[in-house]
Amino acid sequence: METADPVEIPASHRNLLEGPFDAVLVTVMPDGQPQATVVWCSLAEPYVLINTMRGFRKEKNMRANPKVSLLVVDPATASRWIEVRGTVDLIDVGANEHLNELTALYTEAIRYFGEVVPEELAAFEAPVIGRITPVRVRAEAF
């Protein structure tokens, strides 16, 4: 699912989406309740990318309802933050590479499987990219 004409991420807050800042991804549960999860993210304008595993709750939520919200608060000053609301497409192609890019950005490791989590999990977990098309962006700094 793609939305025409994504909303632009303001230059003043792009660094919050480029990492390595923890982001909170909000998805919608099957019963309509929100579910919030801390995730790693990156910016591939005009999209914001997250990575999860196929079959995880947030992946199932996004597959059933592609409306999401992502919030990143500047750890240096909580009065500076960005919220990106949008629709998400789930992409398998390049997901392992993207996960390793996030791993390098957020940790001192190079590979997710084998360095962040046990190598054996690679046989059971399949990464998937969540590509968020921004439809509303709120950036604050006060």
Tens of pLDDT, residues 76-89: 999 999 999 999 99
For residue 4, name the pLDDT band (cuts at 50, 70, 90): low
Tens of pLDDT, residues 61-114: 999 999 999 999 999 999 999 999 999 999 999 999 999 999 999 999 999 999
**1 domain-assigned:** no
**33 domain-assigned:** yes
**6 domain-assigned:** no
**124 domain-assigned:** yes
Q: Report pLDDT for 89.
A: 97
Q: Report pLDDT for 50.
A: 98
> Comparing C-alpha atoms, which of 61, 81, 78 is closest to residue 70?
81
The Cβ-side half-sphere exposure at 32, using a 13 Å CA radius, reads 0
* Contact of 105 with 55, CB cutoff 8 Å: no
Evaluate if residue 1 carries a pLDDT over 60: no
Domain that holds residue 137: 11-141
**137 domain-assigned:** yes
Mean pLDDT of 117-140: 97
> What is the count of structural domains for the chain?
1
**3 domain-assigned:** no
**5 domain-assigned:** no
Mean of pLDDT over the chain:
95
**91 domain-assigned:** yes
Q: What ranges make up the beta strands (E) of the chain?
A: 23-28, 34-39, 41-44, 47-53, 67-73, 80-91, 127-141
Residue 108 belongs to a domain with what CATH number? 2.30.110.10
Q: Report pLDDT for 19.
A: 85
